[in-house]
Structure 1
């Protein structure tokens, strides 16, 4: 039987195949590692956005101006958030020790987030309607700032 009829791979061909497959696997694993490392980024951003949306909605649901007879002081006066009764009470509101609920209790799992820079409530107008422009900003544990703006009209 001649050598031409024998079939199969030589040892050198097999070693080259193993090296090529090994390099391809190393490249795939490097890309996979990058994807896995950055997969938490959207989670942090979504959490910050949810916090900002929650507070902005809370503010927008408040009265435009102080109710008659109200003695509640806002954040600048040192008042408690659960007593805020109008939009302007939130002006300057900031947290530095994590996110807290309306009663001032820390929300577990959100200690790395802060309402910073402070909530801004400024006068604006929407056509002929008097309004407040409200900016809520949340700083994530990585230092990213997510800001949302809303308007509360006097209607």
Structure 2
């Protein structure tokens, strides 16, 4: 007969190594939710990253037109052809569908913009006669961007 061993009060448990199926599924679920949130932010950021470039393009167009007008004489005769504009008043009411250069030629790649110009008489500081020039640009992602400049009679 073999001797039986008496069970001891202490039972030694083996150290667990690994994860249960439930723990694994919960971990995958939490990581998936976090990943969806991060990818949504990246997608939103990427889709709006071109907006500053488009706005800068519209400002550059408006500045170009405004500079062209401000370099002209304060007053003179009226003309109808863009290449013959020689004073500030000639630009009043100018509406370009697509950006055009000073000679009236279309600028490649900027046909989706519209530019309008308004010139009005103004008095600055109560005694200085000037003309207010408003250049408004509309285009993709830009609506009614307006730059205003003044040309004094000096």
Structure 1 residue aligned with 2:68: 58
* 1:64-143 equivalences in 2 (<5 Å): 64-66=74-76, 73=79, 79-96=80-97, 98-115=98-115, 118-127=116-125, 128-142=127-141
From the CA coordinates, give the structure whose radius of gyration is larger.
Answer: 2
Gaps of 5+ in 2: 1-11
Q: 2:78·2:89 contact (CA, 8 Å) conserved in 1?
A: no
Gaps of 5+ in 1: 74-78
Distance in 1, Cα, partners of 2:96 & 2:139? 12
Q: 2:113·2:138 contact (CA, 8 Å) conserved in 1?
A: yes
Per-residue CA distance 1:90-117 (angstroms, 9 max, x = gap): 0001112x111112221111010011xx
Distance in 2, Cα, partners of 1:35 & 1:150? 34
Distance in 2, Cα, partners of 1:56 & 1:30? 41
Q: 1:43 to 1:145 in 2, by over 3 A?
A: same
Structure 1 residue aligned with 2:4: none
Structure 1 residue corresponding to 2:19, chosen from 2, 6, 9:
9
Q: 1:15 Cα deviation (Å)?
A: 1.7
Greater share of residues in strand: 2
TM-score scaled by length of structure 2: 0.85
Give RMSD over aligned pairs: 1.6
Structure 2 residue aligned with 1:76: none
Q: 1:11 Cα deviation (Å)?
A: 2.4
Greater share of residues in helix: 1
Per-residue CA distance 1:104-154 (angstroms, 9 max, x = gap): 221111010011xx3111100122221001100011124611001111111
Q: 1:72·1:83 contact (CA, 8 Å) conserved in 2?
A: no
Q: How many pairs does the alignment contain? A: 142
Distance in 1, Cα, partners of 2:71 & 2:81? 17
Per-residue CA distance 1:32-56 (angstroms, 9 max, x = gap): 1111111122221111111001100
Distance in 2, Cα, partners of 1:100 & 1:24? 49
